[in-house]
Each structure stands twice: as structure tokens, then as C-alpha cells.
Amino acid sequence: MHLVLARLPDAPPGPRGLSLFLVPKFDEDGSAGRRAGPPQARPAPSGGSEPHEVGSVGVRSQVHCERIEEKMGIHASPTCVMRFDEAAASLVGEPGKGLNAMFVMMNAARLLVGLQGIGLLDAAWQKANAYAQERRQMRAPGSASKAGAADVIALHPAIQRILQTQRAWIDAGRVIAYRTALELDTQKHHPEATQRDVAARWCSLVTPVLKSAWTEQAFTGASACLQVFGGHGYVREWGIEQHVRDARVAMIYEGTNEIQAIDLLVRKTLPDGALSLQGLLTELEAEPGQSPRTRQALQAFGAFVREQVVPHTSASDTAPDQAFWLADDFLRALALLLMAWAWDRLAAAPQHNATAHAAFWRWVWPEFGMRMSMMNTTVSVGQSAPAML
Ligand SMILES: Cc1cc2nc3c(=O)[nH]c(=O)nc-3n(C[C@H](O)[C@H](O)[C@H](O)COP(=O)(O)OP(=O)(O)OC[C@H]3O[C@@H](n4cnc5c(N)ncnc54)[C@H](O)[C@@H]3O)c2cc1C
């Protein structure tokens, strides 16, 4: 079965003209091969080449794999160029509502790709951490080894910083992912509508953040883990270069990370004047065990969105592109806030990783201030974009 987005003959241009179709590999009644043109909703005019008979399953639809794509990484998951010639198709949902229908699948896929990011980052970390405990190179500062002996590279601050930073991302990412899994269940099964709504808000706002921030970290973090191997990291047999290649696509598929940021700010935050977002921030703040630093940041972000982002972006006649310039920084800032919340929760657990916790505040969290500063600049310069073309 192939799910295909295509246009009906009189469909308008743009996304609103897209409908979703189901194109079977085999057509039970044998009519597929006799239809002409791109995927057609049934009934369709007849004509075209003779179908290929395949016995009791019916006839083969005119669906062809033109070629397998040669990709950067994920070689075990082939993708290909498909050609749909004279293939019969059944319409799924309403005409022109193809994207809505597809998003049912896309939402799950976005979360899974976010999890893929966390998993790949952890796999890269495990390889790099093991290597760093074995590889000896130079003396670490303050080394207790005997004169002339080299230390394992895990003792060098630069290597510790790389490893601990990734651990900070992995552990926080897991907390956010597990919480999202709980919210998905609550959204679906809770008997009270208010609780279902609160859970739906979490899923809606956090999904693009998880997808975007943790796939970006999977790639940049796996690359940092490759660095731990030095020259060996670049040699295929160590396996770390595969993680770097495999992770790259996650920033692209199931909606590129730029589109996730636009989804979060333009589609999900601004239309209700950021009420949903404020609800999420209040929910995070109200959780027990939040550190003063996290609480202060949640409040600062909420105030900035309320007082700066919403007023500036709703003046659509003077700053129509403002929200789009802000979107990436906005998503990153929310990702870091969620991480701060997650690390406060982890810190309450007796066996939490105190080193990674410290690494979060030292090497990851400062980006929050940078993103706020970038957004402040964007808001203050208004519409004027950097001259580009
Ligand atoms: C390995 C792999 C497997 C895939 N599998 C499937 C599959 O099974 N089914 C399927 O349907 N698709 C699949 N895709 C396609 C994938 O979903 C798209 O490649 C992806 O959504 C990006 O679309 P695009 O390639 O058309 O890029 P474009 O939309 O052309 O984007 C190019 C660049 O412009 C940016 N951009 C575009 N529009 C905007 C905007 N409005 N604002 C800001 N930036 C923008 C993008 O972020 C990107 O950086 C797959 C892709 C890959 C690489």
C-alpha cells in the first residue's frame, strides 16, 4: 500500500489542493492497470497498458520503483523514487484535506524521530565514553600518574566537557519524552475533558520541540562524540561516523526543523495570543521541586512572549515576517526551559547523574540567555531583515 499526496484534476494550487490517496500494490478487481494518468479517485476513466496478472491477489497496479536513492547514512532503510502510472487510488478522507489526514501519521512520526535523535545521541555517547576510558594521550592537568605516563583522555577537561554535555541532553530528553508518552495516554484516555485538554496542550507544543532540538543535538552531539576518537573517529571500523551520518536526516524528514519552529510559534503559539504556551509555562512552574533559576527563567520567558512577541507579531501590517525571524530562537529557548525543568526533576532522584546535571547548567543552559538576546534584537529591529539577495 502506498499513501500518496496528489491533486484531483480541478484542485486549487498550494497545500489546500492536496488530497490523500491509498494506492494498492495489487488491485483485486484488475481495474488499476487500465486507468490512465496520475493517481485517480475511484471511479476513474479506463485506458493504458495491460495489467500484469498475479493470480489470486489480483493484478499489479501501475506503480513503479524508478530507482533506489543513494543517501548519506541510513542505508538499511532504502528510499526510492516512485512513479505512479495509470494507478488506481482510493481517496482517504475528504478532497483537499490531504495534509490534515497525513498529520495524524506525522504527529506520531515526529515524536518517533525525536526519540531517534535521543537514541542516536546515546549510542554515540556510549561509544565515545568507552573509548575515552581506554585511549591514553598526554598528561591530564593535575595528573597523579607517574612521571612520563600518559593519562586516559577521559581525564582531559575538553573531553569531559564533550561527554558530559551530551549526557545532559540525553537524560533531559528522556524525561521530556517519557512525560510526553504519559501525556499522550492522558490525552486519549483520561475521563475528564479538562485533563485531556491539558495533556493535548503538552503534546501539541512539546512535539515540535522534541523533534527539532533533539535531532539537531543528535547530529552536532554525535559529531562531538566523533571528535573524542580523534583520527580513529573518522575511520569507519569504529562505528561512530555512522551515527553522525545516520543522525543528519532526522533534522530533515517528518518536517524540517525550520518548519517545526514555525509550527510551534506561528501555528500553535500566536493564534491564541500565546494562552496555550502560558498554560504550559505555568504548569511547568507549578511542578514541585523547581529550582529558583528555572522558575525565574520560565517567568522571564512568559513575560517576554506576552509583552514583546505577541504585540510585535500581531501587528501583521508592519511586521509580517517578524514571527518567522523569531521562530528558531523561540523553539530553542523553549527546549532549554524544558531541559531546566527536566533536570530539576532528575535532581530530586537519589541516583541522578550529578556531573551531567552540573554540565547542563554550565555548558548547555547559557544558550538560553543567548536566544533571549537574539529574540530581543529581532523584536527591537522590527521588520528589517538582514539584506540578503
Ligand atoms: C531519507 C528520507 C526519507 C524520506 N521519507 C519520506 C516518506 O516516507 N514519505 C514522504 O512523504 N516523504 C519522505 N521524505 C521527504 C521529506 O519529508 C522531505 O524531504 C522534507 O519534508 C523536506 O521537504 P523538501 O525536501 O521538499 O525540502 P524543501 O521544502 O524544499 O526545503 C528546503 C529547505 O528550505 C527550508 N524551508 C522550506 N520552506 C520553508 C519555510 N516556509 N520557512 C522556512 N524554511 C523553509 C527547509 O527547512 C529546508 O531547509 C524523506 C526524506 C528523506 C531524506
SS3 of 319, please?
coil
pLDDT tens readout for residues 84-136:
988 889 999 999 999 988 888 888 899 999 999 999 999 999 999 999 999 99
Residue 355 scores a pLDDT above 70: yes
The rounded Å distance from CA 204 to ligand 1 centre is: 21
Q: Which of 223, 216, 302 is nearest to 260 (CA)?
A: 216
Residue ID of nearest Cα to ligand 1 atom 50: 253
At 40, the amino acid letter reads Q
Q: Is 216 a catalytic residue?
A: no
Per residue in 235-277, pLDDT (tens digit) is 999 999 999 999 999 999 999 999 999 999 999 999 999 999 9
Grid cell, residue 352, equals 541522578
C-alpha grid cell, residue 298: 520560565
Average pLDDT over residues 16-35: 77
Most ligand 1 atoms within 8 A of CB, residue of 81, 212, 256 to mutate: 256
Instruction: Answer yes or no: is pLDDT of 184 > 60.
Output: yes
Query: Do the beta carbons of residue 173 and residue 117 sit within 8 Å?
Result: yes
> Quick one: which H or E segment has residue 59?
strand 59-60
Domains of the chain from N-terminus onward: 2-96 (2.40.110.20), 103-381 (1.20.140.10)
Residue whose grid cell is 475528564: 192
C-alpha cell at 115: 526519540
C-alpha dihedral (269, 319, 17, 111), degrees to nearest 10:
-30
DSSP state of 362: I
Q: In the prediction, which pLDDT does 31 show? A: 58
Report the nearest atom of ligand 1 relative to the CA of 71: 1
Q: Give the residue, out of 21, 253, 264, with the most ligand 1 atoms within 8 A of its beta carbon, to mutate for a pocket test.
A: 253
Contact 154, 138 (CB under 8 A): no
Tell me the torsion sign for CA atoms 347, 350, 352, 354.
positive
Q: Is the pLDDT of residue 39 over 90?
A: no
Q: Do 289 and 341 form a contact (C-beta atoms < 8 A)?
A: no
pLDDT at 330: 98
Q: What is the mean pLDDT of residues 227-242?
A: 96
Ligand 1 centroid – CA 89 distance (Å)? 24
Indicate whether 28 pLDDT > 80. Answer: no
- Distances in whole angstroms, Cα of residue 237 to Cα of each of 127, 131, 295: 12, 13, 46
Confirm if 355 and 164 have CB atoms less than 8 A apart: yes
Q: Which grid coordinates are listed for 323?
A: 514571527
| Strands (DSSP E) found in the chain | 2-7, 18-23, 26-27, 40-41, 52-53, 59-60, 63-68, 80-84, 88-92
Condensed to tens digits (0 to 9), the pLDDT of residues 285-324 reads 999 889 999 999 999 999 999 999 999 887 655 678 899 9
- Closest residue by Cα to atom 29, ligand 1, is 256
CA dist., res. 307 & res. 321, Å (int): 18
Residue range 14-43: average pLDDT? 70
Catalytic residue among 69, 254, 307, 367: 254
